[in-house]
Structure 1
Amino acid sequence: MKILMVSIPNHHFFQWVNQLEGVGFEVYWFDSTDGGPKVERIKWVNQIKGWKLRWDFPFRNRIKEAFPSLYETMQWYNERSIQDVFEQKLEEIKPDIVHCFEMKLGGLPILDSMQKYKEIPFVYSSWGSDIFYHKEIGIPQTKFQSFLRRINYIITDCKRDYEIAKNNGFVNELLGVYIGNGGLDIDKTKIKAVNDRNTILIKGYDDGVGKACEIIEALALVSFAVLQHYKIIVYSCDQVVADAIANNSFFTNLDVTIYKRGQFVANADLLGYMGQSAIHIANSLSDGLPTSSVEAMGMGAFPIQSNPGAVSEEVITHGVNGFLIENPFDTAEIARLIIEGLTRVVLRETAQRYNVNYVDAHFNRAKLQSKIIALYQNVNLL
Structure 2
Amino acid sequence: MVSINSIHFERWTNQLQESGHEVHWFNVRDGGYSEKLSWVNQIVGWKFKFINNKARVFIKKRLPWLYNKLSVLIEKSTEKAFENALLEIQPDVVHSFVLYISCVPILPVMQKYPNIKWMYSSWGSDLFYFQNQAKYLNDIKQVLPRVNYMFADCKRDIDLAKAYGFDGQVLGVYPGGGGYPIDDYKAHISPLNQRKLILVKGYQGRSGRAITVLKALESLSVKLNTHPVIVFGADNEVEDFIMKRNLNSKLDLTVYPKSDFLPQMELIKLMGQALIYIGNSNSDGMPNTLLESIIMGAFPIQSNPGGATAEIIEHGKNGFLIEDCNNSSEIETLIDNALNNMELIQSACKYNQKTIMPSLDRATISKEVIAKYNSIIN
| Structure 1 counterpart of 2:221 | 223
Q: Is the 8 A contact 1:201 1:279 kept in 2?
A: yes
Q: Deviations over 1:121-158 (max 9, x none)?
A: 10001101111222346653332112110000011111
Number of residue pairs the alignment of both structures matches: 375
Q: Is the 8 A contact 2:218 2:250 kept in 1?
A: no
Give the 3 Å change call, closer, same or farther, for CA 14–137 of structure 1 in structure 2: farther
- Specify which of 13, 25, 33 is matched with residue 38 of structure 1: 33
Partner letter of residue 183 of structure 1?
G
| Structure 1 counterpart of 2:48 | 53
Identity, % of aligned pairs? 42
The alignment yields a C-alpha RMSD, in angstroms, of 1.5
Give the TM-score normalised by the residue count of structure 2: 0.95
Q: Is the 8 A contact 1:115 1:150 kept in 2?
A: yes
1:179 partnered with 2:175:
yes
- Could you tell me how far apart the structure 1 residues matched to 2:142 and 2:6 are? 25
Q: Is the 8 A contact 1:130 1:137 kept in 2?
A: no
- Could you tell me how far apart the structure 2 residues matched to 1:318 and 1:293 are? 14
Partner letter of residue 7 of structure 1?
S
- Specify which of 210, 213, 216 is matched with residue 212 of structure 1: 210
SS of 2:2 mapped into structure 1 = strand
1:358 partnered with 2:337:
no
- Could you tell me how far apart the structure 2 residues matched to 1:258 and 1:272 are? 16
Q: Deviations over 1:276-310 (max 9, x none)?
A: 00111011111111221111011000000001111
1:265-284 superposed matches below 5 A: 265-284=262-281
Q: Is the 8 A contact 2:128 2:283 kept in 1?
A: yes
- Could you tell me how far apart the structure 1 residues matched to 2:45 and 2:305 are? 37
SS of 2:219 mapped into structure 1 = coil
Task: Answer with 145-154 or 158-167: which moved more.
Answer: 158-167
Partner letter of residue 258 of structure 2?
R
Partner letter of residue 45 of structure 2?
G
Q: State the shift of 1:159 in Å.
A: 1.2
1:126 partnered with 2:129:
no
| Structure 1 counterpart of 2:77 | 81
- Specify which of 9, 15, 23 is matched with residue 27 of structure 1: 23
Partner letter of residue 73 of structure 2?
Y
- Specify which of 83, 87, 90 is matched with residue 91 of structure 1: 87
Q: Is the 8 A contact 2:294 2:357 kept in 1?
A: no
Partner letter of residue 231 of structure 2?
V
Q: Is the 8 A contact 2:200 2:232 kept in 1?
A: yes
Unaligned runs of 5+ in 1: none
- Specify which of 136, 141, 144 is matched with residue 148 of structure 1: 144
| Structure 2 counterpart of 1:202 | 200
Partner letter of residue 34 of structure 2?
V
- Could you tell me how far apart the structure 2 residues matched to 1:315 and 1:32 are? 32
- Could you tell me how far apart the structure 2 residues matched to 1:244 and 1:230 are? 20
Q: State the shift of 1:214 in Å.
A: 0.7
Q: Deviations over 1:249-281 (max 9, x none)?
A: 243253322222243222111111000001110
Partner letter of residue 241 of structure 1?
V
Unaligned runs of 5+ in 2: none
